């Protein structure tokens, strides 16, 4: 299968990590429910890569199940800051080098702390963005541990 060679794909290849590419028709505002539907997979195993900023405008990545939301209050408490909120699409693009809707935690422009919902690691397989809209990669959740700066959290709603 022909698929895009994004910074995320290059990062995973560098680390000798196998991935299974999945292309789908990107739908504006379709989110994980749309990609899960098109790929015929459980939305719970489609992992969102969300860019948040602290009250001091420090960026961070949150990895969350597609069918859950992030409790900003619990996240802020967990990391010891006054508040966190989703970064604007412009700021998220600047931090990651990816367009919103195509954000991957792999190969980002800026190295940021990564907070991963703990239950992601209970799954056998996850589908996470490969760095382009309409492109998910299937990997083992343990791949997330290739980052030295991953913190497991319980912040889902």
What's the whole-model pTM score? 0.95
What is the model's pLDDT at position 51?
A: 97
Q: Mean pLDDT of all residues in the chain?
A: 94
DSSP type of residue 70: B
Q: Residues 98-120, buried b or exposed e (16+ Cβ, 10 A)?
A: bebbbbbbbbbeeebebbbbeeb
Name the CATH superfamily for 7-153: YbaK/aminoacyl-tRNA synthetase-associated domain (3.90.960.10)
């Amino acid at each position: 299968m022909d698929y895009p060679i994004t910074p995320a794909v290059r990062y995973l290849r560098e680390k000798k990590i196998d991935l299974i590419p999945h292309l789908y028709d990107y739908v504006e505002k379709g989110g994980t429910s749309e990609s899960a539907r098109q790929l015929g997979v459980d939305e719970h195993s489609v992992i969102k890569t969300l860019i948040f900023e602290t009250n001091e405008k420090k960026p961070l990545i949150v990895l969350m199940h597609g069918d859950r939301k992030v409790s900003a209050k619990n996240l802020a408490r967990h990391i010891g800051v006054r508040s966190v909120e989703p970064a604007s699409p412009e700021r998220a693009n600047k931090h990651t080098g990816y367009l919103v809707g195509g954000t991957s935690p792999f190969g980002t422009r800026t190295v940021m702390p990564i907070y991963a919902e703990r239950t992601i690691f209970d799954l056998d397989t996850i589908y996470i963005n490969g760095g382009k809209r309409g492109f998910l990669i299937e990997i083992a959740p343990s791949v997330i541990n290739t980052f030295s700066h991953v913190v497991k959290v319980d912040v889902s709603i």
